Amino acid sequence: MPFGVVDVEQEEARYASAGQLRSERELRNVAAIDIGTNSTHLLVASVDPSLHTFSVDLAEKSTTRLGERDPDSGELTGPAMERVFETLKRFKELAASHQVEQVVASATSAVREASNGRDFLQRIQDQLGLEVDLLSGAEEARLIYLGVLSGMPFGECPHLLLDIGGGSTELILADGRDARALTSTRVGAVRLQRDFVKHEPIPPQRRSFLQTFIQGSLEPAVDKVCRRINPGESPVMVATSGTAMAIGALLASEDDRPPLRLHGYRFSRQRLDGLVEKLIAMTPEQRRIQTPINDRRSEIIVPGALILQTAMQMLAADELVLSERALREGLIVDWMLRHGLLEDRFSFQSSIRQRTVIHQVQRFAVNHRRAERVASHALSLYDHTHGVLHHDDGGGRDLLWASAMLHACGQHINLSAYHKHSWYLIRHGELLGYSEAEHLMVAAIARYHRRSLPKKRHLEWQALATREHRRLVAEMALLLRLAAAIDRRPEPVVAAIRVESADDDQVVFELVPEGLNQNLSLEQWSLKSCASVVKEASGVTMKVVVEE
Protein backbone atom coordinates (compact mmCIF):
# COMPACT_ATOMS: atom_id res chain seq x y z
CA MET A 1 0.00 0.00 0.00
CA PRO A 2 1.39 3.48 -0.86
CA PHE A 3 2.67 5.59 2.02
CA GLY A 4 -0.10 7.41 3.87
CA VAL A 5 -2.95 5.69 1.98
CA VAL A 6 -5.80 4.11 3.94
CA ASP A 7 -7.23 0.71 2.95
CA VAL A 8 -10.70 2.12 2.32
CA GLU A 9 -12.56 -1.19 1.96
CA GLN A 10 -11.11 -2.53 5.20
CA GLU A 11 -11.88 0.66 7.09
CA GLU A 12 -15.39 0.95 5.62
CA ALA A 13 -16.17 -2.59 6.78
CA ARG A 14 -14.95 -1.79 10.27
CA TYR A 15 -16.95 1.40 10.51
CA ALA A 16 -20.06 -0.02 8.88
CA SER A 17 -20.10 -2.85 11.42
CA ALA A 18 -20.11 -0.32 14.25
CA GLY A 19 -23.47 1.08 13.20
CA GLN A 20 -25.54 2.49 10.39
CA LEU A 21 -24.00 5.64 8.94
CA ARG A 22 -27.14 7.09 7.42
CA SER A 23 -29.73 8.67 9.65
CA GLU A 24 -33.31 7.71 9.09
CA ARG A 25 -35.12 10.35 7.09
CA GLU A 26 -37.43 10.54 4.11
CA LEU A 27 -35.36 9.90 0.99
CA ARG A 28 -36.48 9.26 -2.56
CA ASN A 29 -34.42 6.76 -4.50
CA VAL A 30 -33.97 7.12 -8.24
CA ALA A 31 -31.72 5.40 -10.78
CA ALA A 32 -30.05 6.77 -13.91
CA ILE A 33 -28.80 4.61 -16.78
CA ASP A 34 -26.53 5.93 -19.52
CA ILE A 35 -26.14 3.77 -22.64
CA GLY A 36 -22.92 5.08 -24.13
CA THR A 37 -20.72 4.21 -27.07
CA ASN A 38 -18.13 2.35 -25.02
CA SER A 39 -19.87 1.59 -21.72
CA THR A 40 -23.26 1.37 -20.08
CA HIS A 41 -23.50 2.93 -16.63
CA LEU A 42 -25.92 2.69 -13.72
CA LEU A 43 -26.17 5.22 -10.93
CA VAL A 44 -28.53 4.87 -7.95
CA ALA A 45 -29.06 8.05 -5.96
CA SER A 46 -30.83 8.98 -2.74
CA VAL A 47 -32.56 12.32 -3.16
CA ASP A 48 -33.11 14.37 -0.02
CA PRO A 49 -36.18 16.58 -0.61
CA SER A 50 -35.49 18.71 2.46
CA LEU A 51 -31.93 19.59 1.44
CA HIS A 52 -32.69 19.58 -2.29
CA THR A 53 -29.63 17.46 -2.93
CA PHE A 54 -28.66 13.86 -3.56
CA SER A 55 -25.98 11.32 -2.77
CA VAL A 56 -24.77 8.42 -4.90
CA ASP A 57 -25.50 5.02 -3.35
CA LEU A 58 -24.36 2.78 -6.19
CA ALA A 59 -22.36 3.22 -9.39
CA GLU A 60 -21.95 0.31 -11.81
CA LYS A 61 -20.31 0.13 -15.21
CA SER A 62 -20.21 -2.48 -17.94
CA THR A 63 -18.02 -2.19 -21.04
CA THR A 64 -20.63 -3.03 -23.68
CA ARG A 65 -18.87 -1.54 -26.78
CA LEU A 66 -22.10 -0.56 -28.52
CA GLY A 67 -20.08 1.71 -30.79
CA GLU A 68 -18.52 -1.29 -32.59
CA ARG A 69 -21.04 -0.98 -35.42
CA ASP A 70 -21.18 -2.87 -38.68
CA PRO A 71 -18.45 -1.35 -40.90
CA ASP A 72 -20.60 -1.55 -44.04
CA SER A 73 -24.10 -0.62 -42.89
CA GLY A 74 -23.24 1.38 -39.79
CA GLU A 75 -25.91 -0.50 -37.85
CA LEU A 76 -25.61 -1.70 -34.27
CA THR A 77 -24.42 -5.30 -34.33
CA GLY A 78 -26.24 -8.22 -32.78
CA PRO A 79 -23.50 -9.06 -30.25
CA ALA A 80 -23.19 -5.41 -29.17
CA MET A 81 -26.93 -5.04 -28.66
CA GLU A 82 -27.03 -8.31 -26.73
CA ARG A 83 -24.27 -7.10 -24.41
CA VAL A 84 -26.26 -3.95 -23.67
CA PHE A 85 -29.51 -5.89 -23.29
CA GLU A 86 -28.05 -8.30 -20.73
CA THR A 87 -26.44 -5.41 -18.86
CA LEU A 88 -29.75 -3.53 -18.71
CA LYS A 89 -31.49 -6.59 -17.27
CA ARG A 90 -28.92 -6.77 -14.51
CA PHE A 91 -29.04 -3.02 -13.90
CA LYS A 92 -32.82 -3.07 -13.68
CA GLU A 93 -32.65 -5.77 -11.00
CA LEU A 94 -30.04 -3.80 -9.08
CA ALA A 95 -32.17 -0.66 -9.23
CA ALA A 96 -35.22 -2.60 -8.01
CA SER A 97 -33.22 -3.96 -5.08
CA HIS A 98 -32.63 -0.35 -4.00
CA GLN A 99 -36.40 0.28 -4.21
CA VAL A 100 -36.08 3.14 -6.68
CA GLU A 101 -39.28 4.87 -7.63
CA GLN A 102 -38.10 5.49 -11.20
CA VAL A 103 -35.34 4.51 -13.59
CA VAL A 104 -34.31 7.34 -15.91
CA ALA A 105 -32.45 5.97 -18.93
CA SER A 106 -30.79 7.66 -21.88
CA ALA A 107 -28.85 6.68 -25.00
CA THR A 108 -26.30 8.83 -26.80
CA SER A 109 -24.35 8.99 -30.07
CA ALA A 110 -23.97 5.27 -30.87
CA VAL A 111 -27.75 4.76 -30.84
CA ARG A 112 -28.77 8.08 -32.37
CA GLU A 113 -26.47 7.58 -35.37
CA ALA A 114 -27.37 3.95 -36.14
CA SER A 115 -30.23 3.30 -38.54
CA ASN A 116 -31.49 0.49 -36.29
CA GLY A 117 -30.96 2.45 -33.07
CA ARG A 118 -34.61 3.29 -32.51
CA ASP A 119 -35.63 -0.29 -33.17
CA PHE A 120 -33.21 -1.38 -30.47
CA LEU A 121 -34.71 1.06 -27.98
CA GLN A 122 -38.17 -0.20 -28.83
CA ARG A 123 -37.04 -3.77 -28.11
CA ILE A 124 -35.70 -2.63 -24.73
CA GLN A 125 -39.05 -1.06 -23.90
CA ASP A 126 -41.08 -4.05 -25.10
CA GLN A 127 -39.03 -6.75 -23.39
CA LEU A 128 -37.66 -4.98 -20.32
CA GLY A 129 -40.29 -2.33 -19.75
CA LEU A 130 -37.53 0.27 -19.72
CA GLU A 131 -38.15 3.51 -21.57
CA VAL A 132 -34.92 4.99 -22.90
CA ASP A 133 -34.69 8.60 -24.05
CA LEU A 134 -32.63 9.11 -27.20
CA LEU A 135 -30.66 12.27 -26.49
CA SER A 136 -29.70 14.82 -29.11
CA GLY A 137 -26.18 16.20 -28.95
CA ALA A 138 -27.39 19.48 -27.46
CA GLU A 139 -29.51 17.70 -24.84
CA GLU A 140 -26.56 15.50 -23.91
CA ALA A 141 -24.47 18.66 -23.44
CA ARG A 142 -27.21 20.23 -21.29
CA LEU A 143 -27.34 17.21 -18.98
CA ILE A 144 -23.55 17.14 -18.68
CA TYR A 145 -23.73 20.80 -17.65
CA LEU A 146 -26.34 20.02 -14.96
CA GLY A 147 -24.20 17.16 -13.67
CA VAL A 148 -21.04 19.24 -13.38
CA LEU A 149 -23.02 22.15 -11.93
CA SER A 150 -24.25 19.89 -9.10
CA GLY A 151 -20.76 19.04 -7.93
CA MET A 152 -18.50 22.01 -8.57
CA PRO A 153 -18.80 25.68 -7.56
CA PHE A 154 -18.63 28.00 -10.57
CA GLY A 155 -18.67 31.28 -8.65
CA GLU A 156 -18.54 34.26 -10.96
CA CYS A 157 -16.11 32.61 -13.37
CA PRO A 158 -17.19 31.01 -16.67
CA HIS A 159 -16.25 27.37 -17.16
CA LEU A 160 -15.45 25.40 -20.30
CA LEU A 161 -16.75 21.85 -19.88
CA LEU A 162 -15.30 19.11 -22.09
CA ASP A 163 -16.78 15.61 -22.14
CA ILE A 164 -14.96 13.15 -24.41
CA GLY A 165 -17.19 10.18 -25.08
CA GLY A 166 -16.78 7.17 -27.27
CA GLY A 167 -18.66 8.60 -30.23
CA SER A 168 -18.96 12.32 -29.58
CA THR A 169 -17.35 15.18 -27.69
CA GLU A 170 -19.44 17.82 -25.93
CA LEU A 171 -18.03 21.29 -25.32
CA ILE A 172 -20.00 23.66 -23.13
CA LEU A 173 -19.42 27.25 -22.05
CA ALA A 174 -21.30 27.97 -18.84
CA ASP A 175 -21.28 30.02 -15.68
CA GLY A 176 -23.20 29.84 -12.41
CA ARG A 177 -26.27 31.40 -14.03
CA ASP A 178 -26.60 29.92 -17.50
CA ALA A 179 -25.14 27.71 -20.20
CA ARG A 180 -23.96 30.14 -22.85
CA ALA A 181 -23.12 27.54 -25.50
CA LEU A 182 -23.96 23.83 -25.81
CA THR A 183 -22.13 21.95 -28.57
CA SER A 184 -21.70 18.34 -29.61
CA THR A 185 -19.18 17.11 -32.18
CA ARG A 186 -19.02 13.71 -33.86
CA VAL A 187 -15.53 12.90 -32.74
CA GLY A 188 -14.88 10.44 -29.92
CA ALA A 189 -12.28 7.99 -28.63
CA VAL A 190 -13.99 4.83 -29.92
CA ARG A 191 -14.87 6.39 -33.26
CA LEU A 192 -11.29 7.53 -33.90
CA GLN A 193 -9.83 4.20 -32.82
CA ARG A 194 -12.21 2.29 -35.09
CA ASP A 195 -11.88 4.51 -38.15
CA PHE A 196 -8.26 5.64 -38.12
CA VAL A 197 -5.99 3.62 -35.85
CA LYS A 198 -4.88 0.50 -37.73
CA HIS A 199 -1.32 0.10 -36.45
CA GLU A 200 0.29 0.84 -33.09
CA PRO A 201 2.42 2.55 -32.02
CA ILE A 202 0.79 5.15 -34.28
CA PRO A 203 3.21 6.29 -37.04
CA PRO A 204 4.09 10.02 -37.02
CA GLN A 205 2.25 10.67 -40.29
CA ARG A 206 -0.96 9.03 -38.98
CA ARG A 207 -0.68 10.98 -35.74
CA SER A 208 -0.38 14.24 -37.65
CA PHE A 209 -3.45 13.29 -39.69
CA LEU A 210 -5.41 12.45 -36.54
CA GLN A 211 -4.55 15.77 -34.90
CA THR A 212 -5.57 17.69 -38.03
CA PHE A 213 -8.83 15.72 -38.24
CA ILE A 214 -9.62 16.37 -34.56
CA GLN A 215 -8.85 20.06 -34.94
CA GLY A 216 -11.09 20.37 -37.97
CA SER A 217 -13.89 18.51 -36.21
CA LEU A 218 -13.70 20.64 -33.07
CA GLU A 219 -13.26 23.96 -34.83
CA PRO A 220 -16.96 24.93 -35.15
CA ALA A 221 -17.59 24.14 -31.48
CA VAL A 222 -14.48 26.00 -30.32
CA ASP A 223 -15.37 29.01 -32.47
CA LYS A 224 -18.88 29.07 -31.00
CA VAL A 225 -17.77 29.04 -27.36
CA CYS A 226 -14.93 31.50 -27.95
CA ARG A 227 -17.34 34.03 -29.47
CA ARG A 228 -19.34 33.91 -26.23
CA ILE A 229 -16.43 34.47 -23.85
CA ASN A 230 -16.62 38.09 -22.73
CA PRO A 231 -13.57 40.36 -22.91
CA GLY A 232 -11.40 40.01 -19.84
CA GLU A 233 -12.78 36.60 -18.85
CA SER A 234 -10.47 33.61 -18.29
CA PRO A 235 -12.64 30.48 -18.21
CA VAL A 236 -11.75 27.49 -16.06
CA MET A 237 -11.49 24.32 -18.13
CA VAL A 238 -13.21 21.22 -16.72
CA ALA A 239 -12.93 17.72 -18.19
CA THR A 240 -15.28 14.81 -17.51
CA SER A 241 -15.70 11.27 -18.87
CA GLY A 242 -13.73 8.03 -18.71
CA THR A 243 -10.92 9.27 -20.93
CA ALA A 244 -10.23 12.34 -18.79
CA MET A 245 -10.47 10.30 -15.59
CA ALA A 246 -8.05 7.69 -16.91
CA ILE A 247 -5.56 10.38 -17.90
CA GLY A 248 -5.97 12.00 -14.51
CA ALA A 249 -5.41 8.66 -12.78
CA LEU A 250 -2.19 8.10 -14.74
CA LEU A 251 -0.89 11.56 -13.87
CA ALA A 252 -1.98 11.31 -10.23
CA SER A 253 -0.13 8.01 -9.88
CA GLU A 254 3.08 9.95 -10.53
CA ASP A 255 2.42 12.38 -7.64
CA ASP A 256 4.18 12.10 -4.31
CA ARG A 257 0.77 12.34 -2.63
CA PRO A 258 -1.85 10.83 -4.95
CA PRO A 259 -5.35 12.19 -4.29
CA LEU A 260 -7.99 9.97 -2.75
CA ARG A 261 -10.49 11.08 -5.41
CA LEU A 262 -9.99 12.50 -8.88
CA HIS A 263 -12.87 14.96 -8.53
CA GLY A 264 -11.24 18.39 -8.41
CA TYR A 265 -7.81 17.08 -9.43
CA ARG A 266 -5.87 19.57 -11.57
CA PHE A 267 -3.11 19.06 -14.08
CA SER A 268 -1.33 21.25 -16.60
CA ARG A 269 -1.22 21.00 -20.38
CA GLN A 270 2.53 20.51 -20.04
CA ARG A 271 2.00 17.36 -17.97
CA LEU A 272 -0.64 16.14 -20.41
CA ASP A 273 1.74 16.69 -23.35
CA GLY A 274 4.38 14.58 -21.61
CA LEU A 275 1.88 11.78 -20.92
CA VAL A 276 0.62 11.78 -24.53
CA GLU A 277 4.17 11.33 -25.80
CA LYS A 278 4.61 8.30 -23.53
CA LEU A 279 1.26 6.72 -24.41
CA ILE A 280 1.55 7.21 -28.15
CA ALA A 281 4.94 5.47 -28.20
CA MET A 282 3.53 2.38 -26.45
CA THR A 283 1.97 -0.74 -27.91
CA PRO A 284 -1.48 -1.75 -26.64
CA GLU A 285 0.19 -4.47 -24.58
CA GLN A 286 2.46 -1.93 -22.88
CA ARG A 287 -0.49 0.33 -22.09
CA ARG A 288 -2.45 -2.54 -20.56
CA ILE A 289 0.08 -2.94 -17.76
CA GLN A 290 -0.46 0.67 -16.67
CA THR A 291 -2.26 0.08 -13.37
CA PRO A 292 -4.75 2.99 -13.37
CA ILE A 293 -6.42 1.97 -16.66
CA ASN A 294 -8.27 -1.19 -17.66
CA ASP A 295 -7.80 -3.25 -20.82
CA ARG A 296 -10.57 -1.60 -22.83
CA ARG A 297 -9.51 1.89 -21.83
CA SER A 298 -5.92 1.11 -22.87
CA GLU A 299 -7.20 0.46 -26.42
CA ILE A 300 -8.86 3.85 -26.85
CA ILE A 301 -6.92 6.15 -24.53
CA VAL A 302 -4.52 7.45 -27.21
CA PRO A 303 -7.20 8.93 -29.51
CA GLY A 304 -9.04 10.20 -26.44
CA ALA A 305 -5.87 11.84 -25.12
CA LEU A 306 -5.28 13.46 -28.52
CA ILE A 307 -8.78 14.97 -28.40
CA LEU A 308 -8.10 16.37 -24.93
CA GLN A 309 -4.68 17.69 -25.92
CA THR A 310 -5.97 19.31 -29.11
CA ALA A 311 -8.94 20.89 -27.31
CA MET A 312 -6.66 22.42 -24.68
CA GLN A 313 -4.40 23.81 -27.39
CA MET A 314 -7.29 25.28 -29.37
CA LEU A 315 -8.83 26.84 -26.25
CA ALA A 316 -5.44 28.12 -25.01
CA ALA A 317 -6.03 26.35 -21.69
CA ASP A 318 -2.91 25.82 -19.61
CA GLU A 319 -4.66 23.78 -16.91
CA LEU A 320 -7.82 21.78 -16.38
CA VAL A 321 -9.72 20.36 -13.44
CA LEU A 322 -11.50 16.99 -13.41
CA SER A 323 -15.16 16.48 -12.55
CA GLU A 324 -16.47 13.04 -11.64
CA ARG A 325 -20.02 14.31 -12.15
CA ALA A 326 -21.39 14.51 -15.68
CA LEU A 327 -24.28 13.04 -17.69
CA ARG A 328 -25.59 10.48 -15.18
CA GLU A 329 -25.68 12.99 -12.35
CA GLY A 330 -27.27 15.43 -14.78
CA LEU A 331 -30.09 12.95 -15.29
CA ILE A 332 -30.68 12.94 -11.52
CA VAL A 333 -30.68 16.75 -11.34
CA ASP A 334 -33.07 16.91 -14.29
CA TRP A 335 -35.38 14.39 -12.55
CA MET A 336 -35.33 16.57 -9.42
CA LEU A 337 -36.22 19.64 -11.47
CA ARG A 338 -39.12 17.87 -13.16
CA HIS A 339 -40.45 16.61 -9.80
CA GLY A 340 -40.33 19.99 -8.09
CA LEU A 341 -37.44 19.09 -5.80
CA LEU A 342 -35.35 22.01 -7.04
CA GLU A 343 -36.69 25.50 -7.57
CA ASP A 344 -34.24 25.98 -10.40
CA ARG A 345 -31.08 24.39 -11.73
CA PHE A 346 -28.88 26.78 -9.77
CA SER A 347 -30.03 25.69 -6.32
CA PHE A 348 -26.90 23.59 -6.03
CA GLN A 349 -24.68 26.49 -6.97
CA SER A 350 -26.03 29.04 -4.48
CA SER A 351 -24.85 27.05 -1.47
CA ILE A 352 -23.11 23.96 -2.77
CA ARG A 353 -20.58 23.77 0.06
CA GLN A 354 -23.15 24.32 2.78
CA ARG A 355 -25.51 21.71 1.33
CA THR A 356 -22.88 19.02 1.06
CA VAL A 357 -21.72 19.59 4.65
CA ILE A 358 -25.27 19.51 6.01
CA HIS A 359 -25.88 16.35 4.01
CA GLN A 360 -22.93 14.71 5.78
CA VAL A 361 -24.22 16.02 9.14
CA GLN A 362 -27.45 14.15 8.51
CA ARG A 363 -25.72 11.11 7.09
CA PHE A 364 -23.63 10.62 10.21
CA ALA A 365 -26.47 11.48 12.63
CA VAL A 366 -24.67 14.51 14.05
CA ASN A 367 -26.68 16.60 16.56
CA HIS A 368 -27.42 19.45 14.18
CA ARG A 369 -28.31 22.06 16.81
CA ARG A 370 -25.16 21.48 18.84
CA ALA A 371 -23.01 21.44 15.70
CA GLU A 372 -24.44 24.82 14.71
CA ARG A 373 -23.70 26.21 18.19
CA VAL A 374 -20.09 25.05 18.03
CA ALA A 375 -19.78 26.46 14.51
CA SER A 376 -21.20 29.80 15.66
CA HIS A 377 -18.74 29.96 18.57
CA ALA A 378 -15.85 28.98 16.29
CA LEU A 379 -16.64 31.69 13.73
CA SER A 380 -17.03 34.27 16.49
CA LEU A 381 -13.60 33.35 17.82
CA TYR A 382 -12.20 33.49 14.28
CA ASP A 383 -13.57 36.99 13.75
CA HIS A 384 -12.26 38.34 17.08
CA THR A 385 -8.84 36.69 17.42
CA HIS A 386 -7.20 37.60 14.13
CA GLY A 387 -3.58 38.46 14.72
CA VAL A 388 -3.63 36.76 18.12
CA LEU A 389 -4.67 33.11 17.70
CA HIS A 390 -4.61 33.02 13.91
CA HIS A 391 -3.25 34.95 10.94
CA ASP A 392 -5.55 33.67 8.20
CA ASP A 393 -6.58 36.02 5.38
CA GLY A 394 -10.14 34.65 5.10
CA GLY A 395 -9.80 31.32 3.32
CA GLY A 396 -9.82 29.30 6.52
CA ARG A 397 -13.16 30.61 7.78
CA ASP A 398 -15.24 28.35 5.54
CA LEU A 399 -13.03 25.35 6.34
CA LEU A 400 -13.46 26.07 10.06
CA TRP A 401 -17.25 26.17 9.67
CA ALA A 402 -17.31 22.84 7.82
CA SER A 403 -15.05 21.20 10.40
CA ALA A 404 -17.13 22.56 13.26
CA MET A 405 -20.33 21.17 11.75
CA LEU A 406 -18.72 17.74 11.31
CA HIS A 407 -16.24 17.57 14.19
CA ALA A 408 -18.42 15.20 16.24
CA CYS A 409 -19.46 12.84 13.42
CA GLY A 410 -17.02 10.22 14.72
CA GLN A 411 -19.20 9.81 17.83
CA HIS A 412 -21.53 7.81 15.60
CA ILE A 413 -18.81 5.14 15.58
CA ASN A 414 -17.44 5.38 19.10
CA LEU A 415 -17.18 8.04 21.78
CA SER A 416 -13.64 6.95 22.52
CA ALA A 417 -11.13 8.81 20.35
CA TYR A 418 -14.02 10.04 18.24
CA HIS A 419 -11.88 12.81 16.71
CA LYS A 420 -9.90 10.12 14.85
CA HIS A 421 -13.12 8.53 13.58
CA SER A 422 -14.29 11.98 12.52
CA TRP A 423 -11.14 12.41 10.45
CA TYR A 424 -11.78 9.14 8.64
CA LEU A 425 -15.48 9.78 7.98
CA ILE A 426 -14.88 13.31 6.71
CA ARG A 427 -11.86 12.28 4.65
CA HIS A 428 -13.66 9.46 2.91
CA GLY A 429 -17.01 11.21 2.62
CA GLU A 430 -18.15 13.40 -0.24
CA LEU A 431 -17.60 17.13 0.16
CA LEU A 432 -18.74 18.75 -3.07
CA GLY A 433 -17.31 22.13 -3.86
CA TYR A 434 -14.11 21.55 -1.89
CA SER A 435 -10.79 20.87 -3.55
CA GLU A 436 -8.76 17.82 -2.56
CA ALA A 437 -6.46 19.99 -0.43
CA GLU A 438 -9.41 21.72 1.27
CA HIS A 439 -11.08 18.36 1.91
CA LEU A 440 -7.93 17.16 3.68
CA MET A 441 -7.78 20.33 5.76
CA VAL A 442 -11.42 20.10 6.86
CA ALA A 443 -10.81 16.52 8.05
CA ALA A 444 -7.56 17.48 9.79
CA ILE A 445 -9.10 20.45 11.63
CA ALA A 446 -11.73 18.10 13.06
CA ARG A 447 -9.03 15.56 13.91
CA TYR A 448 -6.99 18.01 15.98
CA HIS A 449 -9.78 19.80 17.84
CA ARG A 450 -9.13 17.71 20.96
CA ARG A 451 -6.46 15.71 22.76
CA SER A 452 -2.88 16.13 21.50
CA LEU A 453 -1.58 18.75 19.13
CA PRO A 454 -0.38 17.62 15.68
CA LYS A 455 2.78 15.52 15.58
CA LYS A 456 5.08 14.90 12.65
CA ARG A 457 4.55 11.14 12.89
CA HIS A 458 0.77 11.41 12.44
CA LEU A 459 -0.37 10.20 9.01
CA GLU A 460 -3.19 12.76 9.07
CA TRP A 461 -0.58 15.51 9.49
CA GLN A 462 1.71 14.07 6.83
CA ALA A 463 -1.21 13.97 4.37
CA LEU A 464 -1.35 17.78 4.33
CA ALA A 465 0.48 18.94 1.24
CA THR A 466 2.23 22.14 2.29
CA ARG A 467 3.59 23.98 5.30
CA GLU A 468 0.96 26.66 4.77
CA HIS A 469 -1.82 24.06 4.92
CA ARG A 470 -0.41 22.70 8.18
CA ARG A 471 -0.23 26.18 9.67
CA LEU A 472 -3.84 26.88 8.71
CA VAL A 473 -5.04 23.55 10.11
CA ALA A 474 -3.20 24.12 13.40
CA GLU A 475 -4.73 27.57 13.83
CA MET A 476 -8.28 26.59 12.86
CA ALA A 477 -8.12 23.43 15.01
CA LEU A 478 -7.17 25.57 18.01
CA LEU A 479 -10.24 27.77 17.47
CA LEU A 480 -12.45 24.70 17.09
CA ARG A 481 -10.98 23.22 20.28
CA LEU A 482 -12.03 26.35 22.19
CA ALA A 483 -15.49 26.44 20.61
CA ALA A 484 -16.13 22.78 21.43
CA ALA A 485 -14.92 23.31 25.01
CA ILE A 486 -17.63 25.94 25.51
CA ASP A 487 -20.45 23.63 24.36
CA ARG A 488 -20.64 21.06 27.17
CA ARG A 489 -24.40 20.68 27.71
CA PRO A 490 -27.32 19.50 25.56
CA GLU A 491 -29.04 22.90 25.84
CA PRO A 492 -27.39 26.26 25.09
CA VAL A 493 -26.16 28.25 28.09
CA VAL A 494 -23.57 30.55 26.47
CA ALA A 495 -25.12 33.35 24.45
CA ALA A 496 -21.89 34.88 23.20
CA ILE A 497 -18.14 35.11 23.70
CA ARG A 498 -16.43 38.45 24.06
CA VAL A 499 -12.73 38.59 23.29
CA GLU A 500 -10.25 41.18 24.51
CA SER A 501 -6.53 41.17 23.89
CA ALA A 502 -4.38 43.64 25.74
CA ASP A 503 -1.37 42.65 23.64
CA ASP A 504 -0.19 39.83 21.41
CA ASP A 505 0.67 37.66 24.41
CA GLN A 506 -2.61 37.59 26.32
CA VAL A 507 -6.27 37.12 25.45
CA VAL A 508 -9.30 37.34 27.74
CA PHE A 509 -12.47 35.39 26.96
CA GLU A 510 -15.67 36.63 28.59
CA LEU A 511 -18.59 34.18 28.51
CA VAL A 512 -22.01 35.79 28.24
CA PRO A 513 -24.78 33.59 29.75
CA GLU A 514 -28.05 32.88 27.98
CA GLY A 515 -30.16 33.90 30.97
CA LEU A 516 -30.05 35.63 34.31
CA ASN A 517 -28.36 33.74 37.14
CA GLN A 518 -27.06 31.14 34.65
CA ASN A 519 -24.17 29.23 36.20
CA LEU A 520 -21.31 28.92 33.69
CA SER A 521 -18.72 27.40 36.00
CA LEU A 522 -18.60 24.20 33.92
CA GLU A 523 -17.96 26.11 30.71
CA GLN A 524 -15.43 28.36 32.43
CA TRP A 525 -13.54 25.34 33.75
CA SER A 526 -13.69 23.58 30.36
CA LEU A 527 -12.33 26.60 28.52
CA LYS A 528 -9.61 27.15 31.11
CA SER A 529 -8.47 23.57 30.62
CA CYS A 530 -7.38 24.55 27.09
CA ALA A 531 -4.96 27.19 28.39
CA SER A 532 -1.86 24.99 28.32
CA VAL A 533 -2.57 23.86 24.75
CA VAL A 534 -3.19 27.45 23.65
CA LYS A 535 0.08 28.52 25.24
CA GLU A 536 1.99 25.67 23.57
CA ALA A 537 0.43 26.24 20.14
CA SER A 538 0.40 30.02 19.99
CA GLY A 539 2.47 31.38 22.86
CA VAL A 540 -0.59 33.25 24.09
CA THR A 541 -1.75 33.27 27.72
CA MET A 542 -5.51 33.05 28.10
CA LYS A 543 -7.87 34.13 30.86
CA VAL A 544 -11.56 33.17 31.15
CA VAL A 545 -14.18 35.26 32.94
CA VAL A 546 -17.96 35.20 33.12
CA GLU A 547 -20.12 38.28 32.60
CA GLU A 548 -21.56 39.44 35.90
Question: Distances in Å between the alpha carbon of 371 and those of 1, 269, 357?
Answer: 35, 42, 11
- The answer to whether residue 365 scores a pLDDT higher than 50 is yes
Per-residue pLDDT, 3: 28
- For residue 192, give the 3-state DSSP assignment: helix
For residues 410 and 19, what is the distance between their CA atoms, to the nearest angstrom? 11
Instruction: Dump pLDDT digits (tens) for 3-41.
Output: 233 343 444 444 444 444 444 458 999 999 999 999 999
**pTM summary value:** 0.78
Provide φ and ψ at 195, rounded to 5°.
-90, -25
179 touches 199 (CB < 8 A): no
221, amino acid identity? A
55 touches 43 (CB < 8 A): no
Per cent of the chain over pLDDT 70 is 93
Of how many residues is the chain composed?
A: 548
- The fold of the 349-491 domain, in CATH, is Hypothetical protein af1432 (1.10.3210)
**Superfamily grouping for domain 153-324:** Exopolyphosphatase. Domain 2 (3.30.420.150)
276, amino acid identity? V
Bridge partner list, 132: 105
Q: Where are the domains of the chain?
A: 28-136+329-341, 153-324, 349-491
Asked, colleague to colleague, whether 28-136+329-341 and 153-324 share their fold, the answer is yes
For residues 188 and 171, what is the distance between their CA atoms, to the nearest angstrom? 12
For residues 367 and 69, what is the distance between their CA atoms, to the nearest angstrom? 55
15, amino acid identity? Y
The class that CATH gives domain 28-136+329-341 is: alpha beta
For residues 404 and 97, what is the distance between their CA atoms, to the nearest angstrom? 36
For residues 189 and 192, what is the distance between their CA atoms, to the nearest angstrom? 5
DSSP of 485-534, one letter per residue? HH--SSS--EEEEEEEEEETTEEEEEEEESSTT---HHHHHHHHTTHHHH
Instruction: Dump pLDDT digits (tens) for 193-208.
Output: 999 998 899 999 999 9
> What is the average pLDDT across 279-294?
87
